[in-house]
Structure 1
Amino acid sequence: MTRLTALLLLLIAIPLAAARPTIDAHLHHVNFLHDSDGLETLLDAMDAADIEAAVVLGLPVTKKWEEDAPREPRYYMGDEAPVYYYSAADPLLIAALDALPAAQQRRLYPFMSGFNPTDLNAVEHVRRMIEAYPNRWQGIGEILTRHDDLTALTDGETARANHPALIAVYRLAAQHDLPVLLHSNLTSKRERSFIYLSELEEALAAAPDTRFIWAHAGTSAEIHRHQGALPKLGETVEQLLKRYPNLYVDLSWTVLEPYLLDQEGRPDPDWVALVSRWPQRFVIGSDVVGRFGNLGNIMHSFEPFLAALPSAVADRVARKNVQALLPGQAAMPLDD
C-alpha cells in the first residue's frame, strides 16, 4: 500500500462536507476507452465533496483494442496495443455538456484536446473547433507530450512541448485568451537529470502571451515508481516561475506524494514556502479519468497541505487561481 493510498483510506472516515471549497483544475470526464460515469454522476460527486466547479477535459487519445488481445483493455498500459489520436473527443465533450441544465453547465469549464500535437495542421483543427463551438471553450488541453509509457504507446511521431505544430496552437490560444494545460515530463523513467526541461522552456519562450498550466509540475507516477522523488524539483519549479510569467503549475495528484506531503502525511515546509512565495501560480486537481467515486477523497487529500498555507494563499490555490486563468479573467489581487 502506498502512503497516498493509506492517506486516502484515512480520509474516507472524514466527512467530505467538512472539506474546504475547491475547484478541480484537472479532471478527465472519460477514460482511455472514452467511457465515463457521466457528467451527472460527476456533479453529484462534486456536490458531496464541496467542489464548486471543475476544469473538464476529454482525452486526446484512445486505446486500440486489437484483434489478438485476450480481453478488452481497461487502461492505456493494459497491454502492448497502441493508442491513437481521437478527434471525436471535443464534440463528445460539448454534447455531454449540452445535455445538462444551464446552471450545471456553468460549473464545468471545458478544455479542447482532440488533436495530434505533431501535426502541423493541428492549429487548423483548433481553429475549426473554436468556430464550431463559439464561446464554449475555456482552455486547451491536456496536451500530452513526454509522458513515459503513454508516449511510447502512442502511434506516430513523438510529441514534445516545443514541436512547431504546438507553437502554432499556443499562439492561437493566446489570440483567443485560452489557457493551455500542457503535460511535459521533466525526464524519463530512468534518467535523473531533467533531459526534457529545455523543450518546456522553448515552448514558454516561444509563446509569451499564452498562459501555460504545467500538468503535475513535470512529474508522473511512473517516474516515481522507478526512481522516487525527483531531486531539486521545487528549486526547478521556482526558477521557471521566475523566468516565465506565463507559467502556472498544476499540483495534481502525482505532486501530492512525494513532494507536498512527507512520509507521515505532513506538509513539506519547503513546498509550503514555495507556494506561499508564488500565491497566484499554483492550482490543484484530481486527474481522475472517467470514474468519480474517489473524487472527493482525492481533492480532500490536499487539505493538510492547504491548511499549512496562509489562509488567503490556500483559498487561491484551492479555487481562485483556476478562475483567474479562464478567458476574460484578470489575475485577482491577493487581498481580494
Structure 2
Amino acid sequence: MSLFRLGIAALIAACATSTVEARDYRFSDAHLHFVDFFQESAGLDDLVANMAAANIEHVMLSGIPVAKKWHEDEPKRPRYYAGDDANAYWYSATDTLIAHAYNKLPAEQRRRFHPFLSGFNPNDKNADALVRKTLELDPGLWQGIGEIFTRHDDLTALIEGDTPRANNEALSRIYHLAAEYDLPVMLHSNITSKRERNPLYLPEIEEPLRNHPSVRFIWAHAGTSMEIHRHQTKLDFLLPTLERMLKTYPNLYIDLSWTVAHPYLLDKEGNPDPEWVRLVSSYPARFMLGSDVVGRFDSLKEYMDSFVPFLDALPADVAQKVAHDNFLAVLPRTVQAELAEQQPSAE
C-alpha cells in the first residue's frame, strides 16, 4: 500500500476512534421537492413531522418545474414521470404552490424553510422576465432558484420542446438575475449520457461557472443520475473531475443527494470511500446533503441517516458543515443575517 493510501486509512481510523460515542447530527436538507411530478404533496403537517423524526432543522423548499401528462390513450394514471411514454411539460404554477405552502406556515416556523423558485422554461429567453416578476410579487420570499432541469436523461426526452442546456442564452439571463438578487442556483445537468464513459456534457456546466463567478451554483447530484448508474454503475472520472472543478471554480457547490451516496460515498458494504473522505475534507465548505424526495416525506429519515457512516468518517467539524451549515451558507446574505440574529446568544 502506498504511503498516501496509508495516510488516508490512518485518517479514517482516527476519525472512527474519535467517534466511539455516536455523533448527534443536525441536518439541513438542501434538496427537497414539496410536490411530485403531478404537483401533488403529502402536505406541510406531514413534512414537519418527518423533519422532526429525521432531526432536520432546515429544508430547501422547491416545486417541480414540469408536470407529467396523463395521456388520452393511457388507461391508467402514471405514478411517476417514467411510468409511461406520455410527455411532461413546463409548469410555472409550481411556484404558486410553494409560495402558498410557505405562507401557511406559522411565522416562527418559516425560518426553517427556504423556498427556491423553479417554475420556468429554461429554453425561453422570456424566462428571466417571468422570474423577476415572481420575485417582485413576493419580496423577500424566494431564497434561491432551482432545481433547474437541463440534461436529465429520460426526463429530458419526455419534456416537450428542445433539450435545455445549462449554458444556453435563456439561462445566462437567469444567472444574471440570480446575481442581482443574491440567489443561489441549483442546476441538474448530467455530466454525461447513459452510454458515454467520459464527461461528455461537462462544458455545459463549466461555462456558466466561468462566466458567472458571482453566482453560487449548487450542482445537483454532482452531475450523476440513477439512469446513468443503471447503464454505467460508476463513473471513474467523477472524483478527479470534481477535484479539478472545485479548485478552479470557487462558486461551485456539490449536492450529494440520492445518486451520490451509492456508489461514491459508500461502497456496497456501506463503508466510506477513502478518496471521497479526502475530497470532502479538502473542501469542507463546498458539499451539502439532500434527500431529493418528491412530494412524499416518510423516507426523509432513511435518506438522511444513510449519510451517517460517511459523515462519521469525516472530522467532526467538517461533518457538521456538510450535514447542516453549508446549505445555509449559500443562501442570500440577508437570510444568513436573519438566521444569525435568531440564534440564542451564548451565556
Normalised by the length of structure 2, the TM-score is 0.89
Residue 81 (structure 1) aligned to one of 70, 86, 90: 86
Runs of 4 or more consecutive aligned structure 1 residues displaced over 2 Å after TM superposition: none
Matches within 5 A, 1:1-336: 20-328=25-333, 329=336
Instruction: Indicate conservation of the 8 Å contact 1:282/1:321, yes or no.
Output: yes
Q: Hey, what's the Cα distance between the residues in 2 that align with 1:19 and 1:230?
A: 32
- Summarize deviations over 1:191-220 as a string: whole Å, max 9, x none: 111110011111111211100000000000
- Summarize deviations over 1:243-289 as a string: whole Å, max 9, x none: 11110000001000000001110000000000000000000000000
- Aligned with 1:188: secondary structure? coil
Structure 2 residue identity aligned to 1:35: E
Unaligned runs of 5+ in 2: 1-21, 341-347
Cα RMSD, aligned residues only: 1.3
1:105 Cα deviation from its structure 2 partner: 1.9
Instruction: Indicate conservation of the 8 Å contact 1:45/1:295, yes or no.
Output: yes
- Summarize deviations over 1:131-169 as a string: whole Å, max 9, x none: 011001110000001100000000001101001000110
Could you tell me which residue of structure 2 aligns to residue 8 of structure 1?
A: none
Structure 2 residue identity aligned to 1:171: H
Normalised by the length of structure 1, the TM-score is 0.92
Task: State the number of aligned residues.
Answer: 315
Instruction: Indicate conservation of the 8 Å contact 1:19/1:303, yes or no.
Output: no
1:99 Cα deviation from its structure 2 partner: 1.4
1:97 Cα deviation from its structure 2 partner: 1.2
Q: Hey, what's the Cα distance between the residues in 1 that align with 2:299 and 2:141?
A: 28
Q: Hey, what's the Cα distance between the residues in 1 that align with 2:95 and 2:38?
A: 15
- Aligned with 1:298: secondary structure? helix
1:18 Cα deviation from its structure 2 partner: 7.9
Instruction: Indicate conservation of the 8 Å contact 1:183/1:218, yes or no.
Output: yes
Q: Hey, what's the Cα distance between the residues in 2 that align with 1:222 and 1:253?
A: 12
Q: Hey, what's the Cα distance between the residues in 1 that align with 2:84 and 2:116?
A: 28
1:19 Cα deviation from its structure 2 partner: 5.3
Q: Hey, what's the Cα distance between the residues in 2 that align with 1:92 and 1:284?
A: 24
Unaligned runs of 5+ in 1: 1-16
Instruction: Indicate conservation of the 8 Å contact 2:199/2:237, yes or no.
Output: no
Identity %: 59
Instruction: Indicate conservation of the 8 Å contact 1:171/1:209, yes or no.
Output: no
Structure 1 residue identity aligned to 2:236: P
Q: Hey, what's the Cα distance between the residues in 1 that align with 2:240 and 2:50?
A: 35
